[in-house]
Chains A and B, each alone.
Chain A
Amino acid sequence: EAGVAQSPRYKIIEKRQSVAFWCNPISGHATLYWYQQILGQGPKLLIQFQNNGVVDDSQLPKDRFSAERLKGVDSTLKIQPAKLEDSAVYLCASSTPRGQGPLGNTIYFGEGSWLTVV
């Protein structure tokens, strides 16, 4: 079974530029998450989708970050304009709805997109 796919894996941009990250979740997974992981810290949830609706975006800096999940499958996370403090790994994850079988409680993470803002 294919895992969560993310691209690009690495990106270096200058501050005030824009960047977009793409995520393709595991087939059939209705729930999709974007996490931000700053070096040396635990991942922080930015936004969570259930199908193509937003469940939680309380920690998404909406003045510069945006995310969408069209058709309830792929998702894109955009940062515009980027700041130095946005340098981090952006992790996409997916899961089946809670309680759906033994794997319905497992959240699978992609390899991450590493962003450096200079």
Chain B
Amino acid sequence: ELKVEQNPLFLSMQEGKNYTIYCNYSTTSDRLYWYRQDPGKSLESLFVLLSNGAVKQEGRLMASLDTKARLSTLHITAAVHDLSATYFCAVFQGAQKLVFGQGTRLTINP
């Protein structure tokens, strides 16, 4: 059974700082997703990572995937308040079952 673990689960940081969220998963997979969820809202797709060494960037967010280590990172550069949200990683088990991590609740203070 695939397990997906994120850390930290809660993160409070100051604007302008850099930080990284980690996502570890327990079995081999070839697809990893990062989603953002605002309070009371649904999930917004941020990145789809399909291969070892994949790196994708959008604005202040950059995601990477190391399939050998079964690890993905979501790096936040020079954080701004608008990035406050809960971030989920999700990994495919088998053909098409998507398993989510617990989520990282990120709060960015002015």
Contact = CB atoms under 8 A, between A and B. Distances in A.
Interface string A39-56: 011111100101000011
B31 interface: yes
A21 interface: no
Interface in A1-55: 31, 33, 40-45, 48, 50, 55
Contacts of B99: 45
Contacts, number: 49
A44 B31 CA distance: 17
B43 A56 contact: no
Given A31-B96, A42-B88, A48-B96, A106 B45 contact: yes
Given A31-B96, A48-B96, A108 B101 contact: no
- Chain A: interface residue count, which band? 20 to 34
A42 B100 contact: yes
Given A109-B43, A111-B42, A41 B48 contact: no
A48 B42 contact: no
Interface string B13-46: 0000000000000000001010100000111110
Contacts of B68: none
A41 B43 CA distance: 13
26 contacts: A33-B98, A40-B103, A42-B88, A42-B90, A42-B102, A42-B103, A43-B43, A48-B96, A48-B97, A50-B96, A55-B96, A56-B96, A91-B43, A93-B43, A98-B96, A105-B31, A105-B50, A106-B45, A107-B33, A107-B45, A108-B45, A109-B35, A109-B42, A109-B43, A109-B45, A111-B41
